[in-house]
Each structure stands twice: as C-alpha cells, then as structure tokens.
Amino acid sequence: MANVFTDPPQGTEPEPDDLTNEQNTVTEKILIVDDMLVHLETAQLYLEKSGYQVFCASDTQSAWELLQDNKPSLLLLDIVMPGGSGLDLLHQIQNHHPQIGVVIMTAFGNEEIAAMAMKTGALDYIRKPVKYSELTNVVENALAKQKEINNRSTAFSNLKVAYEELRVSADSILQCMSAGVMAMDNNLRITMINHAAEKLLNVGNRKVVGNDLYATFPDLKKTSLLKQTLVNEEGFHLQEVRLQGKDEEKIYSVNTDVLLDHRGRKLGAVAVFDDITEHRRYKDMLSKREGLAMVGQMAAGMAHELKNPLTSIKGFAQLILAKIKTLKLKNI
C-alpha cells in the first residue's frame, strides 16, 4: 500500500509553482476518476507539472468513454462514485483493457474494499485525503509495475505464438516422415498419428485420435510395448512386431519412448513404426541361399575327398588287370 494520503498539517504542502520546472520525458496518459472536483483539479495540476497528460472524469460512464477514446496508461480510480461503482469499472478494464494499470483511491475505513480491488487486479491503493507532493512517485511506481506486467504478458503471448509455430512445424515434419509415428497420453489414448502410421496400420477413413490405443489396434496389445514403456518409464528399441495386414502378415520394427514436459513430468509415450516385411523376406531368402551354398560347398568338399582315394583304387585296379592279362598270355 502506498501511504501518500494523509491529512497534512496546514501550510506544509508545497505550492504547485514551487515544483521543479524540469519536465519529465514521459508521455503517459493518466485518467483520474473522482467525484470531488477539488481532488481532480489538484491531482491534475501536480501530474501535469510532472509531464503527464491528464484526463479527468467525475463518474464511471464518463471515465469509460474517456478510456475508450484516449487509452491511458494508468487510472487513479475512486471506489465510491455516482452512476456506478469503481469496482465495476475496474472489472470492465480488466476484461477489456488489461494493459491499463489501475490504482484505487479509498477513504479511511474502506480497506476491505481496497483489498478486494487488489485481488481483482488493481496495482495498488492509496488513502484519501491526498498528499499530492508524493502523488508523482505513486504514479511512477504504478506505471513501472504495469509496464513489467505488460512486458511479461507480451513475452508470454510471443512464446505462445512461437510454440504454436513450432508445433505446426513439428507436425508438418512428422507428417512428411516415411516412418509411422504415433503418440498417446498416460491413459493410452491416441493424441497424434501421422500419415505413414495411418497407412501402415490400415487406419483408412477412421478417426483414431482420442481413441483407446488397444481398442483401436488390438494386435498391439499382444506385445504391450507401449503400456510397458509408460509403466517402466523406459523405451524399447528395434523390437519386431507382427501385425495382420489386409492381405498378409506384416513385420514392423518398433521403437518406443516416454514423452516428458519441460519439468520432466510424464506426458505419455511415442512409438515409431518401420515396415520391414520385405527386408525380412530378403534376409530370409539370402539366408536360404547361403544355406544352399554351404550344402554345395560341403558336397564339393566331400566329392574332392572321395575322389582322391577313388583315383588310387582305380590305379591299383588297372595294375591288377594288367598283371592278370600278362599271366593269361604266359599260360597260352
């Protein structure tokens, strides 16, 4: 609370003409809303001497019209006003112009109402009667506080825009991937599926986002890879999964991992699918050919091993035949 509204002793307030003639470089607009003309005029005089552009209103309706037309940076708003409550005007400002700061002015004994105003969004509250010599400091502090709030709001808005652009870019990248990608939340409800995954898993025209994973793809329940990923908070890599396709069984290489937010809290899981059916068939074919080649090599080796003793036997047989012929000729 800014304690600038006290009942000053007579003669202690400096006259406006005694204020410094140096004008601040600030050009912020200030709107003062008070039903007491003397307060309006005095506050306006002091703030204009400090370099602010000041507008005055004596009721909430006039204040709202001035606010709409001039877009001030700050309001000094009395709570008790004719034609409507200052709190009602504060609500309107928060709903339609949250970038405008509000400082509540209240008489002694209305602290509870002022506290309510602070909860609604007022930057500060000050008590009447005003000690005008310190009003400029109150305004400067309130403007600095509102500027900080506006900067945070702008930064947050920029962050939301950047996040949305990043999300759209990431979604575009995922949709262009040849591998199937599917994400789900902690309850195993599908939150994202790219075109490749829709094709690999034969989604067709079905809308699967928001549906239960295992109810949508019952074959995936056989391995429970995604459920285990969530339970163990650890992914699986290069796991082979066989799923029945339209015409034949398909073989997929599946990688899973846990999805975490920036604070490390578990959001769900993601799975990446690659169709390796043809690769597996080619590998099996090569394996069979390698097996046949090994059989051929073994047969050739055995033939070679058999050929050597057969050659020797053939040679001995020829010698024996030659000797037999020789003996027959002698006997004749």
89, amino acid identity:
L
What is the CATH code for 29-158? 3.40.50.2300
Highest mean pLDDT among 64-78, 149-163, 257-271: 64-78
* Cα distance between residue 332 and residue 328, in whole Å: 6
Assigned fold of 177-280: Beta-Lactamase (3.30.450)
Distance from C-alpha of 186 to C-alpha of 321, rounded to nearest angstrom: 90
pLDDT at 257: 92
Cα dihedral 215→216→217→223 (10° resolution): -40
CA distance 26 to 138: 15
Q: Read off the pTM.
A: 0.51
CA separation, residue 96 to residues 68, 143, 149, 169 (Å): 10, 19, 16, 32
Which two three-digit tokens encode residue 268? 């769900």
- 170/195 Cα distance (integer angstroms): 14
pLDDT in the model for residue 52: 93
Q: What are the pLDDT digits (tens) for 27-64?
A: 789 999 998 888 889 999 999 999 999 999 998 889 99
Selection from 115, 109, 63 nearest residue 85 by Cα: 63
Who wins on pLDDT, 28 or 303? 28
Choice between 140 and 306, residue whose per-residue pLDDT is larger: 140
Please say whether the beta carbons of 317 and 310 come within 8 A.
Answer: no
Q: Is the pLDDT of residue 283 over 70?
A: no
Backbone angles phi, psi at 96, to 5 degrees: -110, -25
Inter-residue contact 180 to 197 (CB < 8 Å): yes
Q: Is the dihedral of CA 153, 155, 159, 161 positive or negative?
A: positive
Once rounded to an integer, what is the mean pLDDT over residues 106-123? 77
pLDDT score at 9: 40
Lowest mean pLDDT among 219-228, 260-269, 274-283, 313-322: 313-322
Whether residue 19 is predicted with pLDDT greater than 70 in this model: the reply is no
Please name the residues in contact with 253: beta carbons below 8 A apart, sequence gap of 6 or more.
238, 239, 240, 241, 273, 274, 276
In the chain, CATH 3.40.50.2300 sits at 29-158
What is the average per-residue pLDDT within 165-173? 74
> Residue 15 — very low, low, confident or very high, per pLDDT cuts 50/70/90?
low
Domain with CATH 3.30.450.20 in the chain: 177-280
